[in-house]
Every structure is written in structure tokens, then in C-alpha cells.
């Protein structure tokens, strides 16, 4: 099915307390198909009063039906949801592509399987969240309880709409929390479709509430809400700082997964074919709209020209176009705003003295897609690490190639960034690989691979890439709190007050 033929406008209300309701203001907003510019869906626009209702519903559910449900039954609900998602994977993938612009083969064969995997994985954790006993001195018994935090506000980005919802919802629900989820205003459709499956799975009313709207209104109201016990945010570092400041007034627990400017390092001894393919995956996957994109490509000087030639040749052959076509390798950027941001950084790079090796402009496409937000895979050479294109997150298919000779200087350059989310290393020298993995200040390091994820493996950043870890057992730390319980086994009064 072509993107150009998906012209029927969908309509969605807010999902609060298990019901589909209009926003208090009656306002709606439109979300476009980024491949064509045509309206994909009309969405109810949540504001502060709607967020208030959603938080109240989540609180009632947390203190009511949800808290009385056994861990086993919570796990069963999550597993049932995973099965429903798998059953509807083709439809959800098509909507994800229409909403976000990513190629259908990525939505169908990468994103949706990982969404299913995350709900399955955390379904298993529901019955394995345990306390511990502590051997304290004297005739005392001390144990801990690991309990849910409470009502969680979750704000997700537009680059992986359904997957980011899964990363947030699955551990929170497995731990026994309730949720108010705000999807990105650019890509709300996946979350609203997910709400239908949450209903079908049988989750009690108010356990999951979904309030699409704008960051400045619905997102800000959620971050500053005194009824929220924990905020989880994935997005830009700039907005992450605003979230943290808003939450600070209530001392709300916060986790942040923010921007990145990952060093992707290619040594001369690496398998260059493998490294070129890895560099392509590192920067052009999902149109470069990935927080851990390998946007700073450090290449050892002795192989730079050969590597750059191979990379630019392959980049020029990437099929850019209709994201519903399974032959397409890159679809449009998510929005006109994002497209203009990328164009702006390309102009900046040229002004700074960088050389365009490939791309650097929108592609020529069929008439049906001329209003879409497309850009070509872009490679800059003659970049130094101090340039803006090497320091600032572009969030598009633009890579800066930086040559190096000295390993000590390389480490300094790789770490010379405010970010610390991810890094890639390409080498046959296993000693060097492990040494660099230790030296690079990043939460995730890939060796001879890139963009690998699994529900059991933690993901998160150092420095201004945020704090807290998504996925794996570490994600449960974000959504639980520990209570220490002391029991006197002696039966005697303690201290001098009992004398």
C-alpha cells in the first residue's frame, strides 16, 4: 500500500479512566503523514485539566483495583497485551510508518517485534520483584519490601513511537504502578491504537491513561503535577532539563533518556566492509532520527580515503522514497520542522568549512511525495571536533567524518562532548576494543556492531544524555522503591527508656 493512498483521516479522543473522552477544551490537532504532508489523524488535545483527570484516575486505580491484583495476574495481563500486539503487528506497523515516516520494513520487522519482546520480557518480571533479608546484629529481624512508586507520568518521543511506549509502560506496569502517558504530538497514533489493545487485554480502568497534546501544555502539566510520583522522559536534552526543573518543585522522582552525539570509531585494522555497513546503520537508520546515532564518525587517517569512498558510494545508492514500499531504505523526516532543522545544520557545516561528500539536499521524488519531508543521506568530510555539526545533535541523516592518528588524542576527542549515550568501535584487536570500551564515557558501547538492543539489556546515558536505565532489571529500579522493616525478636524493651 502506498503512503499516497492512505488518505482517510482517523479520529482519536483522549483515553482516561478506561474511557474515550473529548478534551475539556474541545480542541483537536492534526498529525500529518510525513511522506505526503496530508492529514493522517485528528487528535483530541489534552491540557492541564485533562491531565488532572488522568492523574486522579491513575491514583484511584493505584490505590484500588490495581493494588489488589496479584503480581501473577499483572504479568498475565502484560503477556496478553504482548500477544494482542503481535496479532495486530501488520496493521500497527503500517500506522507507525504512516505516522512517523520510517520504512515499513523497519516498522514491521524491527520495531513491532521489539515492542512485543518488551511486554513479554517484563510480563515475566512481575512475579520476580522481591525484597531481601539483612543479617543485622542482635535479636532483630530486618527485611526489605520493593514496592511500586505509584502514579507515573511518562513522556515519549516521536522517533520510535510504539517502541518508546513499550519501553516505558512495560516495566512500570510490571512493578505495579499506574501510568499517565503523553505521546509526542508529532506521532500520537500508535499510542492511541495501543490504548485499544490495553482495553481489550482487560487492564482495569485508570491503570493506563493516554493524553496526547503539546509539550508546552500537557507535557508541562504532567511534569509539574503534585499527584505524580515519578516522571520518565525520553527526548532532547534541552527539554529534559525543563522536565527536571518542573519536577523538582515536588521532588518527583525523575529518569531521563536524552540526546547524543555518539563517536563511531573505525580503526585501520577493522573489516572495512563490516565497518562501512555499521556506519550506515549507525547514521541512516530511521532517517538518522536516533538519539544514539553514530553522527561523529572517527576514521583512522591511513584508511580514511578508502573508507570515505566506500561509504559515499553506498550512501548514494540508498533508496529514499515511499516508506510503504518494502524496497525503500529511508523515508521522510518526521516533520517539516525537523526537515528545516537538518537543512539549517547542512548550511552551518558548509559555512564552517566542511565538505559535502554525499547528499546535502532533498531528493527528487514522484509528484505524490513532493510535499513530504524527505532529505538525502548526507556525509561531511574535513570536519574537526569543535565544529557545531560535530558538537550539536542534528537528529537527521547527517554524519561528520573526522580523521585521527593518535589513540590518546582520539579518546579525548571522543569524550569531548556534553553527551554520553553511546559509542561504536570497529577493530580486530580485542584488547584495544575492551580498552576503548572502558575509556569512552557512554552508557552503551557497541564493538563491531551498531544499534543492537534487547529487552534484557540496559540502555541509558552518561553526562547530559540523562540518568536512569531503560530495559532489563535496571529499569525496575526506576519504578520501585525500597522499604526497610525492623522486627524486635527479643520481646524486651530496648535502650535506657525500658529501665
Positions annotated as catalytic residues are: 257, 291
Q: Which residues pair with 265 in a beta bridge?
A: 298, 425
Choose among 72, 171, 170: nearest CA to 476: 171
Strands (E), 324-392: 355-358, 378-381
C-alpha cell belonging to residue 324: 510503504
C-alpha cell belonging to residue 76: 498475565
C-alpha cell belonging to residue 434: 575492551
C-alpha cell belonging to residue 289: 532520527
**Which burial class, exposed, middle or buried, applies to 333 when counting CB atoms under 10 A from its CB (0-12, 13-18, 19+)?**
buried
Under 8 Å between Cβ of 324 and 371: no
Choose among 45, 8, 49, 48: nearest CA to 30: 45
Q: How far apart are CA 474 and CA 27, in angstroms?
A: 39
Choose among 27, 335, 10, 54: nearest CA to 182: 54
The residue behind cell 568501535 is: 425
Contacts of residue 252, Cβ cutoff 8 Å, sequence gap at least 6: 223, 228, 229, 230, 231
Amino acid at each position: 500500500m502506498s503512503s499516497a493512498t492512505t488518505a482517510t483521516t482517523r479520529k482519536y479522543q483522549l483515553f482516561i479512566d478506561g474511557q474515550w473522552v473529548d478534551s475539556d477544551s474541545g480542541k483537536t490537532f492534526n498529525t500529518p503523514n510525513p511522506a505526503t504532508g496530508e492529514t493522517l489523524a485528528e487528535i483530541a488535545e489534552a491540557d492541564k485539566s485533562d491531565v488532572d483527570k488522568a492523574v486522579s484516575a491513575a491514583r484511584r486505580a493505584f490505590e484500588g483495583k490495581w493494588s489488589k491484583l496479584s503480581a501473577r495476574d499483572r504479568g498475565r495481563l502484560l503477556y496478553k497485551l504482548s500477544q494482542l500486539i503481535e496479532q495486530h503487528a501488520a496493521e500497527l506497523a503500517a500506522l507507525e510508518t504512516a505516522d512517523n515516516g520510517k520504512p515499513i520494513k523497519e516498522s514491521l520487522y524491527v520495531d513491532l517485534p521489539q515492542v512485543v519482546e518488551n511486554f513479554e520480557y517484563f510480563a515475566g518480571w512481575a512475579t520476580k520483584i522481591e525484597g531481601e533479608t539483612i543479617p543485622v546484629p542482635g535479636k532483630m529481624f530486618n527485611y526489605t519490601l520493593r514496592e511500586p512508586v505509584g502514579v507515573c507520568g511518562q513522556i515519549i518521543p516521536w522517533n520510535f513511537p510504539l517502541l518508546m511506549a513499550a519501553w516505558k509502560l512495560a516495566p512500570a506496569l510490571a512493578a505495579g504502578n499506574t501510568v499517565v502517558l503523553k505521546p509526542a504530538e508529532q506521532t500520537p497514533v500508535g499510542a492511541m491504537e495501543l490504548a485499544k489493545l490495553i482495553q481489550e487485554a482487560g487492564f482495569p480502568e485508570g491503570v493506563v491513561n493516554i493524553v496526547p497534546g503539546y509539550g508546552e501544555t500537557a507535557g508541562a502539566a504532567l511534569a509539574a503535577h503534585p499527584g505524580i510520583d515519578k516522571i520518565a522522559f525520553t527526548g532532547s536534552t534541552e527539554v529534559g532539563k525543563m522536565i527536571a526543573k518542573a519536577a523538582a518543585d515536588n521532588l518527583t522522582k525523575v529518569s531521563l533518556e536524552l540526546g547524543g552525539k555518539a563517536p563511531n570509531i573505525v580503526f585501520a585494522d577493522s573489516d572495512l566492509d563490516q565497518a562501512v555497513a555499521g556506519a550506515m546503520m549507525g547514521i541512516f537508520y530511521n532517517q538518522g532520527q536516533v538519539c544514539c546515532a553514530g553522527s561523529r564518525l572517527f576514521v583512522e587517517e591511513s584508511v580514511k580515503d578508502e573508507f570515505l569512498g566506500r561509504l559515499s558510494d553506498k550512501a548514494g545508492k540508498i533508496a529514499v522514497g515511499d516508506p510503504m514500499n518494502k524496497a525503500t531504505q529511508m523515508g521522510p523526516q518526521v516533520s517539516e520542522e525537523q526537515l528545516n532543522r537538518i537543512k539549517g545544520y547542512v548550511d552551518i557545516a558548509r559555512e564552517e568549512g566542511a565538505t559535502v561528500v554525499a547528499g546535502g539536499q532533498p531528493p527528487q521524488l514522484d509528484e505524490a511525495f513532493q510535499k513530504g519531508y524527505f532529505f538525502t543521506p548526507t556525509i561531511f568530510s574535513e570536519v574537526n571536533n569543535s565544529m557545531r555539526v560535530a558538537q550539536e545533535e542534528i537528529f537527521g541523516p547527517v554524519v561528520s567524518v573526522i580523521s585521527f592518528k593518535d589513540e590518546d588524542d582520539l579518546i579525548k576527542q571522543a569524550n569531548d562532548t556534553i553527551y554520553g549515550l553511546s559509542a561504536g568501535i570497529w577493530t580486530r584487536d580485542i584488547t584495544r576494543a575492551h580498552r576503548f570500551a572502558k575509556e569512552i564515557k557512554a552508557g552503551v558501547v557497541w564493538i563491531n556492531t551498531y544499534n543492537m538492543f534487547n529487552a534484557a539489556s540496559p540502555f541509558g546515558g552518561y553526562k547530559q544524555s540523562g540518568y536512569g536505565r531503560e530495559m532489563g532489571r535496571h529499569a525496575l529500579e526506576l519504578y520501585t522503591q525500597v522499604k526497610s522493616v525492623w522486627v524486635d525478636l527479643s520481646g524486651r524493651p530496648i535502650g535506657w527508656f525500658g529501665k
